[in-house]
């Protein structure tokens, strides 16, 4: 055997060993698992803003102050500048006006507040018609709101709201002074959206592509977000479960025990600062079984838009806290179908 033949044999052996090493890391073993990040995935984002309790004793015009009281539905505050676009409705006597100078409008619908689900697209005026929202008793000279009627407002911001007048008297007492308005309202904060009821929706997410999926019936999506619930694609053999193990320490996915959804990933603070907050549980990992028979692990990071620092005063104040139901999370998918995450 000459030197040239010997070099050829050595080259063939080295090449074969290299190919064999590649096969061992691919077909005969799990592929590398790389952690990904998903930010601000919306989960049933609520665009409705509703008062939790009635707005009480908003004073209309009086004998000493015959003008209107102007109210901003977005902030829930009285506005002093009558020429601005910041107010939406004005209260005076029994007439309620809209900010028509800045494209606002108002109308009364013969539909109960709770049953009014959609704002009309047209028919708005500058003010309510006489006795359109109330009944007047000539014997007692009292004004009583019509229970089966609602006021609809088109705001200066292009939003829609519905209003339920509860009382026309101070402290809701007909024996006290009149022209004090107490009312409920619901504001649709998404411009141009006429929906005035809460709609339960889910956002469907594909862990393989890192994208939102529109078709809820497909096997393409792996997890879905709605409110505080995280669901698996159970209709297509998917599942989800929680492990009290830190994300980095989860090296193997269980093969059984999966459920349709999970809500144990977070704690609700209640009256403990920061009050009324949803915070991910430290050291908890969600494991997902996908419709394709793959496994993924997920670490929830934030429930608020922009992944804010929850230790700041801005977050502690519910008035400045970022919008909720926006999920940020870290995840890793074992694309080879193995249960191993190493």
158-174: per-residue pLDDT in tens?
999 999 999 999 999 99
The answer to whether residues 188 and 73 touch, using CB atoms and an 8 Å cutoff, is no
Model confidence at 3, in pLDDT bands (50, 70, 90)?
very low
In a domain, 292, yes or no: yes
Residue 9 scores a pLDDT above 60 = no
> Are 245 and 232 in the same domain?
yes
- Whether 301 has a pLDDT exceeding 50, the answer reads yes
pTM, to two decimals: 0.55
Listed in order, strand segments (DSSP E) in 24-129 are 35-42, 48-50, 55-59, 69-72, 77-79, 89-92, 95-98, 105-109
Q: Say if 340 falls within a structural domain.
A: no
Cα separation values, 228 from 107, 171, 264, 318, Å: 36, 37, 9, 18
On whether both 52 and 184 belong to a single domain, the answer is: yes
Q: Give the range among 43-57, 101-115, 154-168, 192-206 with minimum mean pLDDT.
A: 43-57
pLDDT at residue 61 is higher than 80: no
Say whether both 293 and 320 belong to one domain: yes
Confidence check: pLDDT of 11 > 50: no
**pLDDT tens string 243-287:** 999 999 999 999 999 999 999 999 998 889 998 899 999 999 999
Residues 137/115/79/54 CA torsion (nearest 10 deg): 70
**Banded pLDDT at 23 (limits 50, 70, 90):** very low
Average pLDDT of the chain, as a whole number: 86
Tell me, yes or no, whether 14 lies in a domain.
Answer: no
State mean pLDDT over 100-126: 94
280 forms beta bridges with 266
User: For residue 13, what are its two tokens?
Assistant: 């052996």
| Of the residues 188, 222, 256, the one at which a domain ends | 188
**Residue tagged 């064999």 (tokens):** 20
Do 58 and 184 reside in the same domain of the chain?
yes
Answer yes or no: is 238 within a domain.
Answer: yes
Separation between Cα atoms, residue 31 and residue 338, nearest integer Å: 9
Residues 178, 217, single domain; the answer is no
Which two three-digit tokens encode residue 341? 């995450």
**Residues 143, 73 share a domain:** yes
Is residue 234 helix, strand or coil? Answer: helix
What residues have CB less than 8 Å from 281, skipping those under 6 apart? 264, 265, 266, 267, 300
Mean pLDDT of 22-33: 48
Residue 119 in any domain: the answer is: yes
Higher pLDDT, 325 or 250: 250
Same domain (yes/no): 39, 64: no
The answer to the question of residue 64 being in a domain is yes
Residues 37 and 59 grouped into a single domain:
no
Element (H, E) at 3: helix 3-25
The radius of gyration of the chain from alpha carbons, rounded to an integer in Å, stands at 30
- Residue 242 above 90 pLDDT? yes
Quick count: other Cβ atoms within 10 Å of Cβ 279? 15
Q: Examine the fold and report which residue of 188, 218, 241 is the final residue of a domain before the chain moves on.
A: 188
Question: Is residue 69 located within the same domain as residue 91?
Answer: yes
State residue 325's pLDDT score: 86
Residues 112 and 213 in one domain: no
The structural domain count of the chain equals: 2
148 and 58 both lie in a single domain:
yes
- Distance between CA 151 and CA 38 in Å, rounded? 41
Q: Are residues 210 and 167 in the same domain?
A: no
Q: Is residue 222 assigned to a domain?
A: yes
By residue range, what is the domain housing residue 298?
A: 31-46+199-334
In a domain, 3, yes or no: no
Asked whether the beta carbons of 230 and 240 are under 8 A apart, the reply is yes
- Residue 103: pLDDT band (50, 70, 90) is very high
Q: Domain boundary at 134, 160, 188, which?
A: 188
């Amino acid at each position: 055997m000459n030197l040239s033949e010997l070099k050829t044999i050595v080259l063939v052996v080295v090449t074969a060993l290299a190919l064999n090493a590649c096969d061992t890391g691919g077909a005969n073993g799990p592929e590398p698992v790389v952690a990904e990040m998903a930010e601000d995935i919306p989960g049933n984002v609520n665009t409705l803003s509703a008062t939790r309790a009635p707005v009480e004793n908003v004073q209309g015009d009086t004998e000493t102050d015959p003008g209107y009281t102007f109210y901003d539905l977005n902030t829930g505050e009285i506005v002093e500048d009558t020429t601005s676009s910041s107010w939406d409705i004005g209260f005076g006597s029994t007439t309620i006006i809209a900010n028509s100078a800045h494209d606002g409008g108002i109308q009364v619908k013969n539909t109960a507040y709770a049953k009014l689900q959609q704002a009309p697209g047209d028919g708005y005026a500058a003010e309510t018609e006489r006795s359109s929202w109330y009944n007047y008793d000539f014997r007692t000279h009292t004004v009583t709101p019509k229970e089966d009627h609602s006021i609809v407002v088109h705001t200066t911001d292009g939003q829609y709201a519905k209003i339920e007048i509860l009382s026309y008297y101070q402290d809701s007492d007909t024996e006290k002074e009149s022209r004090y308005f107490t009312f409920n309202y619901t504001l649709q904060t998404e411009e141009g959206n006429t929906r005035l009821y809460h709609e339960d929706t889910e956002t469907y997410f594909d862990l393989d592509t890192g994208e939102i999926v529109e078709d809820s019936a497909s096997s393409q999506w792996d997890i879905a977000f709605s409110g505080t619930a995280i669901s698996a694609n159970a209709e297509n053999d998917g599942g989800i479960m929680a492990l009290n193990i830190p994300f980095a320490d989860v090296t193997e996915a269980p093969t059984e025990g999966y459920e349709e959804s999970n809500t144990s990933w977070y704690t609700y603070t209640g009256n403990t600062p920061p009050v009324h907050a949803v915070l991910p549980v430290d050291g908890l990992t969600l494991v997902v079984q996908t419709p394709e028979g793959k496994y993924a692990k997920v670490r929830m990071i934030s429930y608020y838009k922009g992944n804010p620092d929850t230790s700041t005063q801005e977050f502690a104040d519910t008035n400045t806290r970022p919008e909720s139901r926006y999920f940020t999370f870290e995840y890793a998918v074992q694309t080879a179908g193995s249960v191993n995450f190493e």
